Amino acid sequence: MKKHFSFESIMEMPKLHKTHFINSLGGFKSVSLLGTINNLGQSNVAIFSSIFHIGANPPLIALIFRPSPPERDTLRNILETGFYTINHINESIYKQAHQTSARYDPAISEFDITGLQSEYKNNFKAPFVSESNIQIGVEFKERIDITINNTIMIIGQITEVYVPETCLGEDGFIDLEKANTLTCSGLDSYHKTLKLDRLSYAKPDKALTSLS
């Protein structure tokens, strides 16, 4: 039995209740740690569940920043240095990852607080998260201000990728499940995944087949 919610009934929900409700509705989300550093060498790592693919050619990835903390350090560092990392979260670090969402003083590095290890490599100007199995280095490309709700969209170009060799498919597909990458829902719910199938490219007059 489904319950119906109108726009008016949603708007009447208490603020936090509405936040949980609407955040859940978007479905399962990507959840990753963003690594940044400012020009003084102060590093930062913060969890984000608003990362999304926008194009493969060139390879672009985007995320949404809310106008409020704790994301401000990350956004400021991205705009200051032009570089950041996206690091997938797995079962061994999701609690530390979640803890990075606490509002720490900007002078404090969440790497130190949570025990997550920063990793600098290949002259990339932002720290990767060492415990992460899939690590992505990104170069800032464009900021789009979304005026309807004062959020900010940041588009970056993928310039470095580190993936376990065992997770690489012959067709370019990366097996995220084998990399232990998690997904999240709402503000605070973390999930492992259980693969059902990979399906063939759909055509009008052809039956789908399983690729795996």
Chain positions 130 to 149 lying near a second copy, rule: CB under 8 A, are 133-136, 141-142, 144, 146, 148-149
Binding of residue 107 to a second copy (CB under 8 A): no
As beta bridge partners, residue 83 has 139
Q: Given the rule CB under 8 A, which of 34-42, 77-85, 164-172 is the region that contacts a second copy?
A: 164-172
Chain positions 172 to 201 lying near a second copy, rule: CB under 8 A, are 172-174, 176-177, 181-183, 185-201
By CB under 8 A, the count of residues binding a second copy is 111
Lay out the site mask for a second copy across 40-59 (x = CB under 8 A, - = otherwise). Answer: ----------xxxxxxxxxx
Q: Would you put residue 187 in left (φ > 0), alpha (ψ -120 to 50) or beta?
A: alpha
Place of tokens 């050619």: 57
Q: Given the rule CB under 8 A, which of 17-25, 36-44, 74-82 is the region that contacts a second copy?
A: 17-25
Between 94 and 120, CB nearer to a second copy: 94
Token pair listed for 209:
């087949």
- Please give, one letter per residue, the 3-state secondary structure of 75-144: HHHHHHHCEEEEEECCCCCHHHHHHCCCCCCCCCCHHHHHCCCEECCCCCCCCEECCCCCEEEEEEEEEE
